[in-house]
Chain A
């Protein structure tokens, strides 16, 4: 990032090359330690090595593609959740919003006997509207986002179940597998590519694309600058003219957009949706973001970190299966990982700041 910048803090700017004597040479390692995702990369390497040793089948290409798939379904959501967290807020409704989004497109298409693309489009509008609602309530009431989105979370959980039972008579939607447009939508949201003997799910591409997009936004756009600012000092940001409320609403819409992608994947993988799904996932997204180095109080973090966090999650959940352990232990590992990652992050950040 700073490799192309001239030597920092030269005393006479017209004489480049004379480095400031107060600035000790910053080794590449030190620079690396200042990155928010460093702790998670170290953690990911440790987890990778661990499962490579204890699970024989872990290093096979097919196993890795399974791991990547598990990581991608979580990672798609972890990206906007990380941006939101850098912006200083939480979204507890993100998990059930994925289910809501899937239910809306399934039920709209089925009830209206419309092309499934119509349902997908309606679902996008409604999902984004929920994001706007979260952001609007937060900025208007000034209540903590924890409370606001906890409310949305409970309401959506109820609506998911209530509407599905009211319309379909059961807790799941009717299959839309034979409807017009299903095949093309499945191609976009739930297809898989075969490379040799390895199959890669399309969600992996969605995930990588979102990580790249989010990184671009965060580091190279005005909006990205505002995200850091509203999370790191909302009052200071407002005082210099940053549209704090619009930025936060935009971040909630980002979460909603990713929830829409995840929801459509859910629907087109199985062609039916269970209305009770998604509860508890919101915490997993937050865990991935935190493991990836996002500061829980806002103002610091990265999208790439959230991807590494999701990858750790994918490796752990599948690695336990490949190691032929009882998957009941998974949650324990996840919790231990969260604690270790957070401690490591805190330690690394302290070291990095102390050297500045």
Chain B
């Protein structure tokens, strides 16, 4: 079966900066491919290539088996790739229903009387969000007044409604609390069950392991690991993600380090910290 999106040995350079080198990734329908990496690992660059914001410099980028290089986000959308950005998903001052249809507004009437089908837009927004389990108080409220999780969900619902085949999610849970993250992950799983291929970008291995089928680990611009769910455990994923031995070192440092006196700490005494 052909992958919906396949990157093979893809690289991207900004001048003399090696942003991404030799990264491979497969996205299949009804599966979630997770991209894990710390800050600066090249996650953003990877999404921008898939979303059509940047062109890759080398390697192959296949959409449904066909070699491509996307010129702009519109082209990516037309090919069925929808991207939901963590902070760029919506226009905060605009009502929910206007945001939902932004860029693909339905119209009715002809010639100079061609106008937005406002009733359809409102009703669809309400019903589509309800179908995803988001019960909105008022589709007229500015989307900026929704919580971060709700905004992500609206953006995901929008992508699903517009028939995306591939959904790219940029750290959807990064700025959210535990409960909100759970809600968002539920919608991610719902999108997968609807038959979409999902690319989930995150730096949280726990979230990734909950829903992911494949895992690609990025480190300093190159790929440091690629696994399927049955070939890796959560502990192993977490260890690799955190840099393995680096985490061990950090644990030792944190355990032993006394608080410096100039930060309000007390000299370490032999008879324990509570003395």
* A-to-B contact residues, CB < 8 Å: 2, 4-5, 8-9, 11, 13, 20, 22-23, 216, 220-222, 224-226, 228-229, 232-233, 235-243, 295, 299-300, 353, 356
Contacts and interface: CB of A to CB of B under 8 A. Distances in A.
Contact of B140 (A2, A4, A20, A239): A2
Given A237-B103, A242-B103, 12 more contacts: A4-B119, A8-B138, A8-B139, A9-B138, A221-B115, A222-B116, A228-B94, A240-B73, A240-B102, A240-B103, A242-B102, A299-B91
Nearest to B109: A220
A299 B137 contact: no
Tell me whether chain A's interface is mostly helix, strand or loop, or mixed: loop
A224 B115 CA distance: 10
Interface in B80-139: 83, 85, 88-94, 98, 101-105, 107, 114-116, 118-119, 122, 126-127, 130, 135-139
Contacts of A226: 102-103
A237 B140 contact: no
Q: Which of A5, A8, A22, A241 has the most CB of B within 10 A?
A: A241
B74 interface: yes
B195 interface: no
B145 interface: yes
Interface in B52-68: 53
Contact of B91 (A8, A232, A243): A232
A3 to B, nearest CB: 12
A8 B94 contact: no
Interface size class of B (residues with CB under 8 A): 35 or more
Interface in B31-58: 51, 53
B135 A9 contact: yes
B79 to A, nearest CB: 12
B141 A356 contact: yes
B103 A232 contact: no
Contacts of A299: 91, 93-94
A228 B93 contact: yes
Nearest to A353: B145
11 contacts: A5-B140, A9-B138, A221-B107, A222-B105, A229-B103, A237-B103, A238-B73, A239-B88, A299-B93, A299-B94, A356-B138
Contacts of A220: 115-116, 118
A51 B149 CA distance: 52
Nearest to B77: A241
Contacts of B114: 221
B91 A236 contact: yes
B93 A236 contact: no
B142 interface: yes
B138 A232 contact: no
Contacts of A224: 116
B135 A11 contact: yes
A242 B93 CA distance: 16
A13 B103 contact: no
Nearest to A235: B88
B239 to A, nearest CB: 34
A13 B102 contact: no
Contacts of B119: 4-5
Closest 3 CB pairs of A and B: A241-B103, A233-B91, A240-B103
Contacts of A237: 91, 102-103
B93 A225 contact: no
A2 B74 CA distance: 31
B94 A221 contact: no
B140 A225 contact: no
Contacts of A232: 91-94
Given A221-B114, A221-B115, A222-B105, A236 B89 contact: yes
Given A236-B89, A356-B145, A13 B77 contact: no
Contact of A239 (B85, B115, B126, B137): B85
Contact of B142 (A2, A221, A353): A353
Nearest to B140: A2
A44 to B, nearest CB: 24
A232 B144 CA distance: 11
Given A222-B116, A228-B94, A20 B127 contact: no
Contact of B102 (A2, A221, A225, A356): A225
A238 B73 CA distance: 7
Nearest to A220: B115
A276 to B, nearest CB: 39
A229 B85 CA distance: 16
Contacts of B158: 240
Contact of A241 (B74, B85, B127, B136): B74
A296 to B, nearest CB: 13
Given A9-B135, A228-B93, A222 B141 contact: no
B142 A356 contact: yes
Given A232-B92, A353-B145, A225 B136 contact: no
A300 B144 CA distance: 13
